[in-house]
Structure 1
């Protein structure tokens, strides 16, 4: 073997070893948002613009709502854990379409909205314990009934981009079980506006969100929920995949709030007000008694969310 070939062989062996080392390092690496929070003394929360009563932005451009308060309780615990004298909270508005990309890119550290824990999303992000369980339904003008999928035939349905309702209703349409015209909107507020203006006959979304919008816009006398439930939608706080240190703190805080009964006062504050009344359903109550991270399911056989 010539000296040139021996030198080339040596280079190739070294390169292979370096690649193996890099691969092993990447495989064993974990995301540690806590280290960056300690360094910057800042945590960024992703919030929704119009997902009342879970997550919305007030006039001061700050996040508010049920899920936001749970996130802020976790922020207090993070501050204690890192022994920080101050921890700045910044808010970034996210939509149904960009909430996961913004989390993955590091634009936000926690997503504090109304996001359903699904098996598909579990491949991209981590979820906290369930904080609420909703059901997907349709909002309709009073007098319109939706008790079966056949009742959707011929309807124009408003959907919010990047949501489980968009995914499920597209499956329904392709199956031929119901022939609908589906129109996607950037936000819940835009889809709700389309319904009120007659551009859509129904707005498909989670029942609690639909009731929150109806209450905010004082539309209870003209709009109501259809009777059919299309899916079970367990909400969780999202964080980056593999961010185990941050995730364990969030879960610990939620467990404490559930066990102490503090969750009852928080629930009443946001869901049982003078303008909104959403009784705590059995699945939500069970989630507080036995914290879990179960994924949502479609109520229709052969469909997914």
Structure 2
């Protein structure tokens, strides 16, 4: 009669004779095999018990990605679908989750957000990742977490080419628009804090609305991150009619935003994005979105990678200078 332990080991592909001398060893191997088999058979949901986000994804089979509508080329809608550099990076995270959670059929659900609603979408659990053009700064880190930066922008002004506005001093008595919920809006208000400049500050719902205000002469200047201004100008009816000024107002490290309450999920996202940088996948995506024709009009923004971003990619980290 075959000992039950031997029968079990043979079932696992191990042929061992059940001699009395070997029985203690067999019992030890049987115990180890039990744990090994349990680990292999353990469901994905159980593997994510330490992470609320991973547990929910494992249970529902859905990753929720918050996206923007007009943050070209990071996150925008064209042909009714979200596109962009940040969106593509978040889809890399979705691929990593399919493997980590053994969920090949994992679905992605896109959640539209605005600059004003994006932080709440993460804090309230309406989205797992916010994939757009969001700056990692100290104030926001009190509510949410950020992974490593995927772009480093600078805040500048977009004006009509014939306006004569080229520097901050030229804004005296002018109307300046920026987008609600952005660091650029805070900068404009800080500049106008003493009232000496007599600037009229206007909030727009999103970047497209702010650009339209300059286009329609409802505002003299649109203060925003330069790459977004270049994108809006490139996709306008007459790009030559608009100028992005050279004076740099701030430095803005963009990063994907996620829950501050889930360190395990953040580790997976960080690892995925670091791997994408070292495999040069991120650099290829940069060329796709910043140095090649992109939707909706096939315009090439032709923005080379800055030395700040190249240096950041050498030693990827979520630590930024505030």
Interval of TM-score (by shorter of Structure 1 and Structure 2): 0.7 to 0.9
Counterpart of 2:273 in 1: which secondary structure? helix
Between the aligned partners of 1:65 and 1:148, the Cα distance in structure 2 is 31
Q: Deviations over 1:35-85 (max 9, x none)?
A: 00000000110000000100012323x321000000000110011100113
Rounded to whole Å, the distance in 1 between the matches of 2:140 and 2:217 is 33
Deviation of 1:289 (Å): 1.0
**Matches of 1:195 and 1:147, distance apart in 2:** 15
- Rate the CA distance shift 1:30–1:122 in 2: closer, same or farther, 3 A: farther
Alignment deviations for residues 116-163 of structure 1 (CA, whole Å, 9 cap, x no partner):
001000110000001100000000111445554322211111110000
SS across alignment from 1:217: coil
The answer to whether the 8 A contact 1:103-1:109 is kept is yes
Secondary structure, counterpart of 1:221 in structure 2: helix
Structure 2 counterparts to residues 3-22 of structure 1, below 5 A: none
Q: Deviations over 1:235-255 (max 9, x none)?
A: 000001122121111111111
**8 Å Cα contact 1:232-1:296 kept in structure 2:** no
Structure number with higher relative contact order (C-alpha < 8 Å, ≥ 6 residues apart): 1
Q: 1:283 aligns with which of 308, 316, 320?
A: 308
Corresponding residue for residue 272 of structure 1: 291
Instruction: Return the index of the structure with the highest Cα Rg.
Output: 2
Specify whether residues 40 and 138 from structure 1 end up closer, same or farther in structure 2 by C-alpha distance, changes over 3 A only.
same
Distance 1:104 1:48 in 2: 17
Distance 1:219 1:245 in 2: 47
Q: How many Å apart are 1:218 and its aligned residue?
A: 3.9
Quote how far apart the aligned CAs of 1:179 are.
2.5
Q: Which residue of 1 aligns with 2:93?
A: 74
Asked if 1:36 corresponds to 2:59, the answer is no
**Are 1:47 and 1:92, in contact at CA under 8 Å, matched by a contact in 2?**
yes
RMSD: 1.7
The worse-fitting range, judged by mean Cα deviation, of 75-84 and 171-180 is 171-180
1:263 paired residue number = 282
Matches for 1:292-303 after TM superposition, within 5 Å? 292-295=317-320, 297=322
Match of 2:214 among 195, 198, 203: 195
Aligned counterpart in structure 2 of residue 234 of structure 1, from 253, 260, 281: 253
Task: Report the Cα distance in structure 1 between the residues aligned to 2:52 and 2:198, rounded to whole angstroms.
Answer: 47
CA contact (8 A) 2:89 2:282 kept: no
Show CA shifts across 1:76-132 (max 9, x none).
001110011310101011001000111111111100000000100011000000110
Please tell me whether residue 59 in structure 1 is matched to residue 79 in structure 2: yes
In structure 2, the CA distance between the partners of 1:278 and 1:64, relative to structure 1 (3 Å rule), is same
Please give the alpha-carbon distance, in whole angstroms, between the structure 1 residues aligned to 2:292 and 2:321.
27
Indicate which of 93, 97, 101 corresponds to 2:112: 93
CA contact (8 A) 1:117 1:294 kept: no
- Hey, what's the Cα distance between the residues in 2 that align with 1:111 and 1:37? 16
Aligned counterparts of 2:277 and 2:118: Cα–Cα separation in 1: 26
Q: Equivalents in 2 of 1:193, 1:154: separation in Å?
A: 20
> How far apart are residue 226 of structure 1 and its match?
1.0
Is the CA contact 1:157–1:202 (under 8 Å) kept in the aligned structure 2? yes
Q: Distance in 2 between matches of 1:216 and 1:160?
A: 18
Describe the SS at the equivalent of 2:239. coil
Matches within 5 A, 1:211-226: 211-226=230-245
More displaced 10-residue stretch of structure 1: 109-118 or 236-245: 236-245
Partner of 2:202: helix, strand, or coil?
Answer: strand
Q: Distance in 2 between matches of 1:285 and 1:219?
A: 32
Gap runs ≥5 in structure 2: 1-48, 294-298
